[in-house]
Amino acid sequence: MSGGESVLGAEILAEIEKRGIAPEKVYAQLDMLKKGVPSADLVKPCTVGDGIVSIEGKAEEYAAFYEEASAGLDVVKFVPASGAATRMFKELAAAVACHSPADREDLEKAAAGGDGDAAAALAFVGKAKKLAFYDELAAALRRDGLDPDALLEAGGYGPFIVYTLDARGLNYASLPKGIIKFHSYPDGPRTAFEEHLVESVLYAHGEDGKAHVHFTLSPEHVETVSAYLAGVKGLYENGTAEIEISCSVQSPSTDTIAATMDGGPFLDDAGKPVFRPGGHGALIGNLGALGADVAFVKNIDNVVPDRLKPGTVLYKRALGGYLLKLRGILFSTIEAAKQGGRGKVIEDGLGRLSEMGLYVDVPEGAGTEAILEALRRPIRVAGVVRTTGEPGGGPFLVRRPDGKVAPQIVESAQVDMTVPEEKAVWESSTHFNPVDMVCALTDESGKPYDLSRFVDPEAAFISVKSKDGRELKALELPGLWNGGMAFWHTVFIEVPGETFNPVKTVFDLLRPEHQPG
């Protein structure tokens, strides 16, 4: 505990206990905040044929195998959906905060002077009629006696932005991103949540015949989202597919303590310790708690209209088929290992896994327990796409502290860019991870893995934030799909770029992929 016992007083320890956090975890967090976290030791980027598997020409084959092999399994679609839509409208919020009443003339003058937020506001209102939520926005304006067409003609742009963001209209700045209307259809618009329900029916069937989808939510959104989902799910069920929806929140026990800049616990103006959410890495517990055999993991904002779904669904099923082939070989190798020794069956199994891109490091002369320890791990098959400038982690071979080299998803924040060699490796990457993966979560006996055993606790993130006018150090837990899965069996598969269509800002909804065909 690095002497941490003397750092925390009785009142702080009582607050920790109330949150359900083990004191030793807090000591470890403070120690990490003081010392820093080690950067990733990049060996080389994974490329097609060298760390990334190509299934070009075989996607249909693997998709067909998935349909056959998944029939008796518990399958779920796992969607991290706790984020609010605030960032989608960040530029618009800044524009109306700085410019009131944000008329067209004011915004044009500011934009001409280099104000990017004003330019964004102009672009938003100018193209608002192309957005799936425009009719609802226009109706909200009319309710308050405002004529949308007259406003546009007179240059009254401010109300369009205000009524998009706050409770007088759509209140989108305060709602979860999943409830934003993304896509237009002849029978009405759909939200991101609805598009995920449609997808779940197409590939996330459980052994009970139902389509299972699980959303992780912020506590303040649970009631609103649960009621909303209950009201819309029937629209997407049919005679052969009932949809089973479940939700969870990030446990307060995964919050991390904030530290002062010199590493001590940060106390707010009331003298209480400050805790912050542990980031999406905290969701590893939510994923494990599902008890599912197979989980598809995909972000809330990466959805497409129906006209583009066939390609997306094909590759989801193909990734699932590839995973289940790996799972079958792994399980048969484990059963052979249980018989003792390292015989030909085990060697053949390891060879077949290696041919499929999954290398299992079993030391020469290892006994049965060591072989089983190396084999018994959850599996993830992660889709990667060609780099296009989108932010996100990439697939790399990384050297662990024990000297072993393993495939990992690495974020830029994990790389020491002041080291020329590390920066060069990072910049030579050809692919990135769009958070598109399928996971095998149970062992050969059907028992769920304890996913916390396979986390690299040192693959955390430290950032500088502020509270009460003072700087603090904040700690994020190892990310769900990088450090949170550091010791999983991992295979990277190249998937087409068209399967990745994220919506990070409202302007992404104006891309052709999100517009009606």
Model pLDDT for residues 224-276, shown as the tens digit of each residue: 999 999 999 999 997 667 999 999 999 888 999 999 998 889 988 888 889 99
Which of 174, 194, 224 corresponds to the end of one domain? Answer: 174
325 and 468 within one domain: yes
3-class state of residue 261 by DSSP = coil
In 350-404, DSSP assigns E strands to 379-386, 394-399
Using the structure block, give the residue that is written with the tokens 């327990």: 369
pLDDT of residue 5: 46
Which of 157, 174, 191 corresponds to the end of one domain? Answer: 174
pLDDT of residue 307: 96
**Gap between the Cα atoms of 79 and 161, Å rounded:** 29
321 and 395 within one domain: yes
Q: Which residues pair with 45 in a beta bridge?
A: 396
pLDDT of residue 241: 79
105 and 47 within one domain: no
**Gap between the Cα atoms of 173 and 180, Å rounded:** 10
pLDDT of residue 2: 42
Whole-number Cα distances in Å, 356 to 15, 329, 433: 49, 10, 19
Q: Which residues pair with 52 in a beta bridge?
A: 48, 492
pTM exceeds 0.75 for this model? yes
In this structure, are residues 250 and 278 in contact, taking their beta carbons and an 8 Å threshold? yes
In this structure, are residues 383 and 7 in contact, taking their beta carbons and an 8 Å threshold? no
117 and 27 within one domain: no
In single-letter form, the type of residue at position 225 comes to V
500 and 421 within one domain: yes
3-class state of residue 190 by DSSP = strand
**DSSP string covering 98-130:** HSSS--HHHHHHHHHTT-HHHHHHHHHHHTGGG
**Gap between the Cα atoms of 239 and 495, Å rounded:** 31
330 and 476 within one domain: yes
Q: Which residues of 36-54 are buried (b: 16+ CB within 10 A; e: fewer)?
A: ebebbbbbebbebeebbbe
Q: Is residue 310 in some structural domain?
A: yes
76 and 27 within one domain: yes
3-class state of residue 442 by DSSP = strand
* Structure-token pair, residue 144: 């308050």
292 and 332 within one domain: yes
Helix (H) or strand (E) holding 150: helix 148-154
167 and 280 within one domain: no
Total domain count, the chain: 2
pLDDT of residue 391: 67
In this structure, are residues 440 and 382 in contact, taking their beta carbons and an 8 Å threshold? no
162 and 98 within one domain: yes
In this structure, are residues 455 and 25 in contact, taking their beta carbons and an 8 Å threshold? no
**Exposure of 204 by Cβ count < 10 A (0-12 exposed, 13-18 middle, 19+ buried)?**
buried
Within a 13 Å sphere around the CA of 299, how many CA atoms are in the beta-carbon half?
Answer: 19
Give the pairing of strands 431-432 and 51-53: unpaired
pLDDT of residue 343: 84
152 and 129 within one domain: yes
**Gap between the Cα atoms of 305 and 131, Å rounded:** 13
Whole-number Cα distances in Å, 270 to 72, 266, 274, 276: 55, 11, 10, 16
Tell me which residues of the chain have a pLDDT lower than 70. Answer: 1-7, 239-240, 390-391
Residue 358 lies in domain: 4-83+275-514
